[in-house]
Every structure is written in C-alpha cells, then in structure tokens.
Structure 1
Amino acid sequence: MPHTDLSAVEADVRAWFDQYVSTFIGLASAGRTDPAPLLDYFSVPITMTTDAVHVVLASDGALAAALANELQTLRDADYGGSTALDPQVRALNERSALIEVTWARNDSGGREFQRVRVLYLVARTVAGWRTTASAILAP
C-alpha cells in the first residue's frame, strides 16, 4: 500500500480553496448574483447544515439557486468583502480533506457585520477538488 503525502494534499487543497475564496469574494463584492463562476467548486449532491436547517441539494439547479440566494443576501447587506481568517486544512486521505475557516464579512464601508465559522468537506473528484458538504459551526 503506497504512502500518501498528506502535506502535498493539504497544499493542493489550500491552493484550490484560495481560488474559491477569490472567486466568491470577487463576485459578492461586485454585487453580482449570478452563481455560475462558483458552480465548479461544488459537487452535486451536496449537503449543507446550519443550526436551523439541513438541506441536500440534489441538482445543479438547486445548487445554483442556493448560491444565488447567498449572493443576493450579501448584496442586500451592502457587502464589501470578506476575510478568510485562520483557514485550517486537514487532509483525511489522498482524495478528501476538511477545511475549517472563519469568515469575517464587511460592508462596503469596511465595518464587520458578520463572523461565521464554516467546515467544508472536500473531495478530489474526476473534475478536481469539489465541496461535498458544509456546516455552519456553532459560535
């Protein structure tokens, strides 16, 4: 059985996640609500949980609608940008990793209006790294 270099997996996932962060923040801070540039960062079906709800998005259309809703919510909040605080990547094996990050969200004036901790489960699929599940962590 070959030995998996987990540090290489973690570096690969970090680079992929950095691209996602840049794409998401770029869209949201420009006030865009079309989620198309984000879709390649997720795998369908995807499961998402918060304190209030657990959903399974089983189609590309459902994922697009959920992402568009998130972008619209940020637009309505006068979103100006986010900082991904202390992202932690933990490779589980050659094909999966956990990413835990605190998002500090600011309005267009630079004032923080939300801080949320998120856990992402990502998998290396035939199409590359994709988020397969996410959970908003309790404060």
Structure 2
Amino acid sequence: MDEDDVRRWFDSYLAEFSALGRGTTDDVRRILAYYAVPLLFSTDAGSVVLPDDVQVLAATQQQIDGMRAAGYDRSDELAAGIDVLNASGAVQRGRFARLRADGTEISRLEVTYLIADLPVGRRISAIIVHSAT
C-alpha cells in the first residue's frame, strides 16, 4: 500500500460520504464501493459487526438521516494521519468538524479507519469512533 494512494482513495470516500450527508446524492449503495462487508463499527455505546450489505446500508442510512436532519453541508478535516501497516493494510486517523452551509458547527469527531486491500478492492473494514474528550 502506498500512502499517497491511500490518501487519494480516502479523499474520494470523504467526498462520497459528504455528498450523501448533504443530500447531493441519495444512492446510499454507492458507499459499498468503500465499506467492507462485514464491517466493524465501534463507538462508546458498543461495537457491532455488520455482517451483510443490508445492515451496512441501514447503519449508513441512519448516519445520513441524522446528518441531513442537522443541516449538514460539509466536514472540515482538522487533523489526519495515515500509517501504512503492510502491503495490504493501513490505518487512517482523522479529526473532523461537521458544519452547516453557514459555517456553524454541528459536531466534532475523531475516527480511526482500518483500510484493507481485499479481493473486491480497497475497503474500510473497521470504523472506530473515539471517545469524546
């Protein structure tokens, strides 16, 4: 895995996720080009393995619905880092501010993504949301 390639790929994921969040596109299935199935999702509330497309899409749609209800427009990346772990895996860590179109902040979050080159292509296989500080 090459760090620059991972960065470009992750930027395309962020653009797709933001487009879904702001309502530029409604085709949540497009996220399956970025999420592995199964997908591990971990927060303070608990960790869950989403074992199939239906559950991955349902969890994603729930996030998207919340973003749209809050008036989401974009995310500013406040900090980021990539660690290439081996030839087929990397960790992307990011701190983000979710913003409305007028620039007011909805929330901040820090997330670690485990990115793997799988037989189906590059995918996020785990999303770990950090505890609020």
Counterpart in the other structure of 2:44: 51
Counterpart in the other structure of 2:86: 93
Cα distance change on mapping 1:12 and 1:133 into 2, 3 Å: same
For the residue of structure 2 that corresponds to 1:109, the secondary structure is coil
Deviations, residues 11-53 of structure 1 (Å, cap 9, x unaligned): 1111110100111112212265541111110111111110112
Unaligned runs of 5+ residues in structure 2 are none
Amino acid in the other structure paired with 1:91:
V
Deviations, residues 52-91 of structure 1 (Å, cap 9, x unaligned): 1211100000000000110000011111111122221100
Normalising by structure 1, we get a TM-score of: 0.89
1:54-133 to 2 correspondence within 5 Å? 54-133=47-126
User: For the pair shown, which has the larger CA radius of gyration, 1 or 2?
Assistant: 1
Aligned CA RMSD, in angstroms, stands at 1.4
Structure 1 runs, 4 residues or longer, greater than 2 Å off: 30-34
Unaligned runs of 5+ residues in structure 1 are 1-7
Q: How many residues get paired?
A: 132
User: Does the 8 Å CA contact 1:50/1:136 hold for their aligned counterparts?
Assistant: yes
Normalising by structure 2, we get a TM-score of: 0.92
Residues of 2 paired with 1:13 and 1:128: CA distance?
12
Amino acid in the other structure paired with 1:64:
L
Counterpart in the other structure of 1:37: 30
User: Does the 8 Å CA contact 2:79/2:96 hold for their aligned counterparts?
Assistant: no
